Structure 1
Amino acid sequence: MSDAVQASGAPAPVGHYPHARRVGQLLFLSGIGPRDPASNAIVGNVHDADGHLISYDIDAQCRAVFANVRAVLQASGARWEDLVDVTVYLTDMARDFKAYNRVWAECFPDASRAPCRTTLGINALPTPIAIELKCVAEIKSPLPLAGEG
């Protein structure tokens, strides 16, 4: 069984792919960034008068990316607590890791119940964002039937 998920409460993917795909009891989320679902604006980015990015708020981007992950999980029939593995991509590890780690600890206060995590420092992401998450969750309940939920 393999089911694609498009979540109306999350920003649209930036390419031709689903928000998530369910395979059996596993849910694989596509890379999710900190865009606002309503406006598609990148949360926390500050631009100059010419539209060039001049700064960003990593705290705001972390919170936005977590909210977007939650929206995809919910649309998929999963919960935050169902996350089992998260890969984090940061474009500036030296500047942003400490802030990211702080927000992570707020969202997962009990480290023994948090998902596994790998954090990578990378040069760039496809859009001018500072963070992206790639997640895997285990769905413990069946998806609602069409017309339910």
Structure 2
Amino acid sequence: MSGIVRTDTAPAPVGAYPHARRVGHLLFLSGVGPRQPGTNAIPGNVHDADGKLVGHDIEAQCRQVFANVRAVLEASGARWEDLVDVTVYLTDMTRDFPAYNRLYAEYFAGVDACRTTVGITALPTPIAIELKCVAAMGLAT
């Protein structure tokens, strides 16, 4: 199908969907989490001796999810500056919003994308953050 983007530079999707799809000048990214490409390791997750998830480092996960979004954008022929809308899902809004918001401001300096942040109870894998993005390609912003 035309406009479908798949890349090895970002973690593989956890379901039957592409990394992104281009329709006209718009690029729609599927939900992007902080898993590391190639290994699917989740940076910042803390496990107890039995392997049970007991905590996470939201800063480590933010840095990785932003890198993964950038990888999908670049594989699609888009740039970070092309982002026009970002929806962010956090599994612990109270605990994680301050650090996430600070890092978002750092990474998105000069990018005037609209943003919505939603608190949710869980994501499909043991991650604390996921981004859903839309970019406008080839248009003056």
AA at the equivalent of 2:113: P
Distance 2:91 2:11 in 1: 20
Distance 2:77 2:51 in 1: 38
**1:51 — aligned with what?**
51
Please list, as runs of the form range in 1=range in 2, the aligned pairs for 1:1-149 lying within 5 A after superposition.
2-110=2-110, 113-140=111-138
Aligned residue pairs total: 139
Pairwise CA distance, 1:2:
4.2
Provide Cα deviations, 1:98-138, integer angstroms capped at 9, x if missing partner.
0000001111223xx42100000001111110000000001
Pairwise CA distance, 1:55:
1.0
Question: Structure 1: 5+ residue runs without aligned partners?
Answer: 142-149
Alignment check: 8 A CA contact 1:2 1:24 kept: no
Distance 1:137 1:108 in 2: 13
Identity within the alignment, %: 74
Distance 2:94 2:21 in 1: 33
Distance 1:43 1:4 in 2: 28
Distance 1:97 1:61 in 2: 13
Q: Which runs of 4+ in 1 moved over 6 A?
A: none
AA at the equivalent of 2:131: L
AA at the equivalent of 2:119: G
What TM-score comes out, normalization by structure 2 length? 0.95
